[in-house]
Amino acid sequence: MNAEILKDTFGRQHTYLRISLTELCNLRCTYCMPADGIQLSPRSHIMNFDEIYDIAKLFVSHGVSKIRLTGGEPLVRKDVEIILRKLATLPVALSMTTNAVIIDRYIQVLKECGILNLNVSLDSLDSEKFKILTRRDNFEKVFHNIHLLIKEGFSIKLNVVLIKGVNDDEIVDFINLTRDIDINVRFIEFMPFDGNAWNKQKLVSYSDIMAIVEEAYGIERVDRIKDAPNDTSKNYKIKEHKGSFAIISSVTNPFCDSCNRIRLTANGRIKNCLFSATESDLLTPLRDGQDLRPIIQKVMQSKFKVRGGMDTLEKLETPNLHEKNRSMITIGG
Q: How many CA atoms lie within 13 A of 285 on its CB side?
A: 13
| Domain housing 317 | 16-331
Per-residue b or e along 321-333, where b marks 16 or more CB atoms closer than 10 Å to that residue's CB: bbeebbbbbbbbb
Predicted local confidence at residue 2, as pLDDT: 52
pLDDT digits (tens, 9 = 90+) for 134-147: 989 999 999 999 99
Give, rounded to a whole angstrom, the gap between the first and last alpha carbons of the chain. 31
Would you mind telling me the total number of residues written for the chain in this entry?
Answer: 333
In a domain, 112, yes or no: yes
In a domain, 255, yes or no: yes
In a domain, 8, yes or no: no
In a domain, 71, yes or no: yes
- Residue 244 and residue 235 in contact, taking contact as beta carbons nearer than 8 Å: yes
Domains contained in the chain, number: 1
Burial of 235 (0-12, 13-18, 19+ CB in 10 A): middle
pLDDT digits (tens, 9 = 90+) for 156-202: 999 999 999 999 999 999 999 999 999 999 999 886 655 545 567 78
- Render 90-130 in DSSP notation, one character per residue: SSSEEEEEE--SSGGGGHHHHHHTT--EEEEE---SSHHHH
Q: Which of 103-112, 141-150, 201-210, 302-311 has the lowest mean pLDDT?
A: 302-311
Which uninterrupted H or E stretch holds 156? strand 155-162
Does the structure show a pLDDT above 50 at 1? no
Query: Across-strand partners of 236?
Result: 224, 245
Does the structure show a pLDDT above 60 at 303? yes
* Distance, CA of 266 to CA of 205 (rounded, Å): 31
Q: How many other C-beta atoms can be found within 10 angstroms of the C-beta atom of residue 165?
A: 9
In a domain, 58, yes or no: yes
Predicted local confidence at residue 277, as pLDDT: 77
pLDDT band at 39 (very low <50, low <70, confident <90, very high): confident
Q: Which of 21-30, 120-129, 283-292 has the lowest mean pLDDT?
A: 21-30
In a domain, 4, yes or no: no
pLDDT band at 108 (very low <50, low <70, confident <90, very high): very high
In a domain, 113, yes or no: yes
**Residue 51: which of 25, 19, 73 has the closest Cα?**
19
**Residue 43: which of 279, 332, 328, 267 has the closest Cα?**
267
In a domain, 274, yes or no: yes
Predicted local confidence at residue 80, as pLDDT: 98
pLDDT digits (tens, 9 = 90+) for 305-329: 886 656 566 656 665 554 555 455 5
* Distance, CA of 244 to CA of 227 (rounded, Å): 12
Residue type, 125: L
CATH for 219: 3.20.20.70
- Please state the rounded mean pLDDT for residues 243-251: 90
Q: Which of 119-123, 193-197, 289-293 has the lowest mean pLDDT?
A: 193-197
- Residue 226 and residue 167 in contact, taking contact as beta carbons nearer than 8 Å: no
Ramachandran angles phi, psi of 121, nearest 5°? -80, 125
